[in-house]
Structure 1
Amino acid sequence: MISRNYALAFGTIALCMSSFLTTVVRAETLVFEATTDFPVIDAGEVPYYSEAPGRPSLAIDAAIESNRNQFAKASMTYEGASGYFDITLVTLAELDGEAPYRVLIDDVLVGSAINPEVIVDYTSVRNIFENIVIPQGATISVESLANTNGKIPEGDGTAFARGRWTSLELDSSDAGTIAEDETDLAVDVSIDASRLVVGESSTLVVNIDNGSDSAVATQPLVTLTRPHTQLDIETGPLESCTESGDEIVCHLSEIPAGGSHQMFLVLTALEASSSVPLQVTVTADQTDSYIADNSVTLPLQIDARSDAEGTSTDTIENGGNGLTPDTTMNATESESRSGGGVSVGLLGLLLIATFGLKRRYQWS
C-alpha cells in the first residue's frame, strides 16, 4: 500500500513537472499568425490579401499582372521584451514558382530565403534565421514576391506562385548565448552619378567594415535589392553572386576583426523612373552588435535618353571659346556667332563716334 502511494505521488509530480516544462518551452516560443497578427498588409510595392479562413496565409494576387515580380510587405509591432531570437518564417512552397522571402527588423534585412522546388503544392517550409536581435517596440516585417518558374501552363502564359506564408515564430531558448562572437558590420556606398540616363552605366562602390575588436565575420552576405526591370547590376569577379528577381545575393570571403571589404559594381539604367531605390544590406553568421548601419538605401533617378542628345553641345574647355572640336552648329547658331556679332560691333562704333562729335561740338 505504501509503495503504491509512493508510485502515485511520483506519478503526480512527474506529470506536474512535464506540464511545467512544456509551459516553459512554449513561453520561449512566440507565434505570430500572418492573417491575424500582422495588421499592416499593404506596406510594400504591392499589397497582400488574406486567404483565411480557407487557408491561414497571406498571398499576392498574381492574377493582376502589375502585382507580379514585386515585393509585398506585411508589418507588426513587437511588444515583448528585447532579446536575441531565432526567427522561423513558415512559408508555403508552390508548384508554379519558387518565391523569395525577406524578414526585416525596423526595415533592416535580417534574413532571406527562397522556396524550394516541390512536388506537392502548398508544402510547408520552415526558414530559420538564428540569433537576431529584436528590441522592444521594433517593427517586424515579412516580404515576398509572386513569380513563375514557367512550368505550369495557364491561359496564354504560365501560372505564378503567390508568395504565400502562414506564420512567424520567435524562439529565445537557444539564441544569444555567445556574446563574444558578435561582429559589428557596417555598409557604406558611393556612386559617381545618382541621376542616370537609360542605356548608360555608372560605378557603385560598396564598402563593408567589421568594427569588432575580436570577432571574425564568417560567410558574410551582401544583398542588393532594386527593381530589376529598371536597373541592371553587374557584379565583380571577387564575389560569388546569385540573382532572383529584384534581389542579388553575394557571398564574400570572411572579414577579420577591424577589417574591410570593397565591392565595385556597374549599374546600367534600363527604364526611366523618377524614383529607383537601391538597397544594400550586409549580414554574417555572427550576431551583429548594432544592426542600424547594416543597410543603406540609395535613391536613384533614371532619365529617358533624348533623341537630340549630343547634337549641340557648348562646353568650356582650356579657357577657349567653349567649342570642342566636334561641336556642330546649325544655321541659326552660325548666324548669331558671325553676322549678328558684326552688326552689333558696327552699331557700337557709330554710337561712339556720334558721342565724340557731340562732345567736341559742345566744347568748341
Structure 2
Amino acid sequence: MKTILILSMTLFVLACSKTTLLSQSTEQPSAVEFIAHEHFTTPSDSDYSFYYDEYRQVFAINAGNPKLRDRFIRATKKLDANFISGEYLLTLNTITEEDGESSYQVFVNDELIATVTNPETHKAFQLVQLQIGKTELKAGDVLTIAANAVTNGKIPEGDGTAYARGRWQSLLLTPVQ
C-alpha cells in the first residue's frame, strides 16, 4: 500500500511538472517597445544615417545637409532568438514638426508593410502614435524604419524653407490576442 501511494504521488508530481512546462511554452507575449537609439542600428559607415537627438531622445535626420533631404534614411533591428512569434499590432512613435510632415516606412524582412505620415501641426515636438497595423513576427525577422526630411514650405529659413528632420522615438509591438 505504501509503495502504491508513493508511486501515485510521484506520477502526480510528474504530471504537474509536465503541465507547467507545457503552459510555459505557450505563454502569451507581452508588449515590447524598441527605442530608436537603443535598439535600432543605422549604418555608421554611410553618409545616409540618423543622428541621435539627445535632447528629445529620438533618431533624426540632419536636414541641414541637402543630400539628406527628400530621401528615406533607414535604421534596422533584428528580433533576437528569445522573441515570441505571433501577430502584433505595430505603433510608431514619432515627433511632430512645424516645418514639415515627415513620412515613415516600416519594413519586415525588406518587405514594405506600411507608409505613414506625421500630421500637420502648429505645436512642434509633440509625441504622435502612428498606427502601422497588424503583422506576423518571429525571431530572426529584421524590422526597418525609414524616415524622410521634408519641408512644407511654411517656415522661412535662409533662401528657402526649413525642413522637418523625420524624428522618431520608438516602435511599439503589442501582441494581438
TM-score, normalised with respect to structure 1:
0.39
Counterpart position of 1:40 = 42
Counterpart residue type for residue 61 of structure 2: I
Q: SS in structure 1 opposite 2:122?
A: coil
Displacement, 1:41?
4.7
Counterpart position of 2:66 = 65
Counterpart position of 1:255 = none
Gaps of 5+ in 2: 1-26
Counterparts of 1:172 and 1:105, CA distance in 2: 16
Q: SS in structure 1 opposite 2:37?
A: helix
CA shift in 2, pair 1:45/1:105, >3 Å: farther
Q: Kindly name which structure, 1 or 2, has the bigger radius of gyration based on alpha carbons.
A: 1
CA shift in 2, pair 1:110/1:43, >3 Å: farther
Counterpart residue type for residue 90 of structure 1: N
Gaps of 5+ in 1: 1-23, 175-364
Number of residue equivalences: 149
Q: Does 1:148 align with 2:151?
A: yes
Counterpart residue type for residue 170 of structure 1: L
CA shift in 2, pair 1:66/1:108, >3 Å: same
Displacement, 1:43?
9.0
CA contact (8 A) 1:87 1:171 kept: yes
Q: Which runs of 4+ in 1 moved over 6 A?
A: none
CA contact (8 A) 1:90 1:167 kept: yes
Q: What aligned pairs does 1:4-23 form with structure 2 within 5 A after superposition? A: none
Q: What is the aligned counterpart of 1:134 among 125, 134, 137?
A: 137
Greater RCO, CA 8 A, separation 6+: 2
Counterparts of 1:43 and 1:109, CA distance in 2: 24
CA contact (8 A) 2:42 2:49 kept: no
Displacement, 1:123?
1.6
CA contact (8 A) 1:45 1:70 kept: no
CA contact (8 A) 1:57 1:166 kept: yes
CA contact (8 A) 1:46 1:70 kept: no
1:170-208 Cα distance to aligned partner (Å, 9 max, x none): 00044xxxxxxxxxxxxxxxxxxxxxxxxxxxxxxxxxx
Aligned-pair identity in percent equals: 34
Q: What aligned pairs does 1:235-254 form with structure 2 within 5 A after superposition? A: none
Counterparts of 1:62 and 1:99, CA distance in 2: 11
Q: SS in structure 2 opposite 1:137?
A: coil
Counterparts of 2:96 and 2:129, CA distance in 1: 10
Displacement, 1:122?
1.1
Displacement, 1:72?
0.4
Counterpart residue type for residue 76 of structure 2: S
Counterpart position of 1:30 = 32
Q: What aligned pairs does 1:165-314 form with structure 2 within 5 A after superposition? A: 165-174=168-177
CA contact (8 A) 2:52 2:60 kept: yes
Displacement, 1:40?
2.9
Displacement, 1:39?
2.4
Counterpart position of 1:220 = none
CA contact (8 A) 1:42 1:48 kept: no
Counterparts of 1:71 and 1:44, CA distance in 2: 13
CA contact (8 A) 1:42 1:73 kept: no
How well do the aligned residues superpose, as a CA RMSD in angstroms?
A: 2.0
